[in-house]
Amino acid sequence: MFKKWLTLEMSVVLLAAVFTTFQSCNSKVANDTKEESVTPKKEPEFPRKKLSQEFKDYWYSGTAEITSYELEQARYGEIRTGKAVMIYVTEPFLKDKQVKADNASTDNVPVLKLNATKKYLTGIYPYSIMASSFYPVYDNQHALKVSFSAQEWCGHVYAQINNKEAFQVMSRSYFESEGDQDFNLKKTVLENELWNKLKIDPENLPQGTHQIIPSLEYVRLSHKELKAYDAEATLTNSDGFYTYEISYPELERSLSITFGNAFPYPIESWSETSKSGFGPEAQTLTSKATKIKTINAPYWQQNHNKDLYLRDSLGL
């Protein structure tokens, strides 16, 4: 009888030990899972910013604001020359599908869209870059969507952030170490959205110490981890211009944007300082863009050969 009782007790102890070990392994796996660190939370609903008549007259006139820039772009440890173009336009956006709406609806979210392009040469082959950000004109939440693509003769890369319960990230690259990635990030400031925000209400730009997700262009082309980094942001107003600066100590990178201090806050120039190149040839360089010309036009209607001359007015 005692032997049976001892056998039963040992069996119970053994089962408890196995169960404890199993639970410990499960806990470790959960803690090692990237998604586990992201707890989706509903984004706070801030009051909608009231749109001024000046804003409505300008941004709902049936045209886009198109600005061209002379570009000095650091790449592979050298400065390249090229052109940049920024196209701002308002459009209706579907929050659930995260695309431009085909039809009018009270469910549509009005956004200020920015398509920012860069074209430059690296030796024999060209770079073509585009970033898009869709930011609510009411300035009451994060960008609903941000995307980026770069094409050059080695291949192309693409990244997209969708504003859902969390930031849903999708990244594609021809590099083995980056490959196809899908993951979530906690919601925080997006550098890409700040270019939209400054056109709506510069005084509402984030200032001080913040966690900011750097531009998708920088993250992808420098092969840095796509995540939020500690940053310091400042806004100054002097001699008719705002200057907005962001510094990322860990990345040894800074961005400075100079724009008019009166509506519609035209962007005059920007500069970005960071390490360029890889290995022993890497050095700190500053990329710059300086405005050539701004026009307001319904460019989507000007797609015929007879419209080619319009590029001359932009210095392209």
Whether 27 is covered by a domain: the verdict is: no
Cα dihedral 311, 299, 205, 208 sign: negative
pTM of the predicted model, to two decimals?
Answer: 0.85
Is 21 part of any domain?
no
Taking residue 152's Cβ as centre, other Cβ atoms within 10 Å add up to 17
> 77 in a domain, yes or no?
yes
In a domain, 24, yes or no: no
Determine the pLDDT at residue 34: 44
pLDDT on residue 91? 96
Q: How many helices (H) and strands (E) does the chain have?
A: 5, 16
**Cα–Cα distance, 280 to 277 (Å, whole number):** 8
Q: How far apart are CA 168 and CA 126, in angstroms?
A: 30
pLDDT computed for residue 9 by the predictor: 43
Q: Is residue 28 in some structural domain?
A: no
Please tell me the total count of domains within the chain.
1
- At 18 the pLDDT is 36
* Residue 45, in any domain of the structure: no
Give the structural domain span for 254.
53-314
Render the burial of 160-188: b for 16+ CB within 10 Å, e for the rest.
Answer: bbbbbebbbbebbbeeeeeeeeeebbebe
Which regions in the chain score pLDDT beneath 50?
Answer: 1-36
pLDDT of 47: 83
Distance CA 220, CA 150 (A): 9
Cβ contact 208:138 at 8 Å = no
User: Would residue 31 count as lying in a domain?
Assistant: no
Residue range 238-250, pLDDT digits in tens: 999 999 999 999 9
| DSSP secondary structure code for residue 52 in this structure | P
Contact assessment for residue 72 and residue 273, using Cβ atoms and an 8 Å cutoff: no
Residue 7, domain member (yes or no): no
Of 136, 113, 27, give the one whose Cα is nearest residue 64: 113
Helix (H, G, I), strand (E, B) or coil at 77: coil
Contact between 111 and 94 (Cβ < 8 Å):
no
- 64-93: per-residue pLDDT in tens? 999 999 999 999 999 999 999 999 999 999
State residue 38's pLDDT score: 56
pLDDT attached to residue 48? 86
